[in-house]
Amino acid sequence: MNSKFFDLKKEKQDRMINAALKVFALKGYRHASTDDIVREASISKGLLFHYFESKLGVYQFVYDYSVRYMNLELRSTVDPGEKNLFEVLKQTERARMHAMRGYPYMQQFLNRTAAEDVSEALLAIEEKRSLLEETAEAIDGQIDYGLLPRGIDGGKLKKMLDLTVKGLMTERFLDASFQPEMLYVEICDYLDMMRRIVYATCSSDREDRQDSPL
């Protein structure tokens, strides 16, 4: 991490971090520019380059910062003893909401880096990428899919829910009045609805089988 940067006042640190997160999240590494970042942060280009020598340096820094910050939120919010799929997903989204209160574009930025195709950007974050992947794997590993009704493919269900959450997040970011707390409530509503559908459908199927003549 850049020790000189952390000598700045917290307000200016966050302004620069948030500007970089937003620009990289919306444009990707290839199309983002330091001009975009300094304009968004309302700072001079000289100040940016005083702490980061290049666009790549900014990108590497905010990725490292995001991984550390998100890892801390996930590990402190998700109960390692929770095994229910829907509850684990709710706790995961609560952790992301906490992170987005201070850094609204952090999760969108991390999602964007997963699809990055510029080699120098990929190489710059390769070492830190495994840290977030390990946390995600640990959280996924604690889910007991055996708790789901018989006949439900837990892996496919989780993938469907993950895609729903990402879609909601992308959609809400198009709204200038985006609020992490409102997104979290909406995500929980979808998770609760899907939980009711899954259990109600399976219960109905069992009743149909019991009522069917031999």
Residue 94 has pLDDT above 90, yes or no: yes
Which one, of 50, 55, 73, lies nearest residue 2 by Cα? 50
Answer whether residue 192 is part of any domain.
yes
Average pLDDT for the chain? 90
Residue 11 has pLDDT above 50, yes or no: yes
Give the mean pLDDT of 134-153.
Answer: 93
Give the mean pLDDT of 23-35.
Answer: 94
Answer whether residue 214 is part of any domain.
no
Answer whether residue 39 is part of any domain.
yes
Answer whether residue 213 is part of any domain.
no
Q: Are 186 and 169 in contact (CB under 8 A)?
A: no
69 to 20, 43, 86, 99, 154: CA distances (angstroms) = 15, 24, 24, 7, 29
3-class SS of residue 177: coil
Answer whether residue 172 is part of any domain.
yes
Task: Note down the domain range covering 13.
Answer: 5-208
Enter the tokens of residue 181. 């707390």
CATH of the domain at 18: 1.10.357.10
Which one, of 131, 118, 121, lies nearest residue 65 by Cα? 131
Q: Is 0.95 surpassed by the pTM of this model?
A: no
Q: Are 142 and 82 in contact (CB under 8 A)?
A: yes
The conformation of residue 104, written as its DSSP 8-state character, comes to T
Residue 187 has pLDDT above 70, yes or no: yes
Least confident of 28-32, 51-55, 134-138, 210-214: 210-214
Q: What was the pLDDT predicted at 210?
A: 47
Separation CA 174–CA 185 (nearest Å): 17
pLDDT digits (tens, 9 = 90+) for 67-92: 999 999 999 999 999 999 999 999 99
Answer whether residue 71 is part of any domain.
yes
Domain count, the chain: 1
**What stretch of H or E contains 191?**
helix 180-211
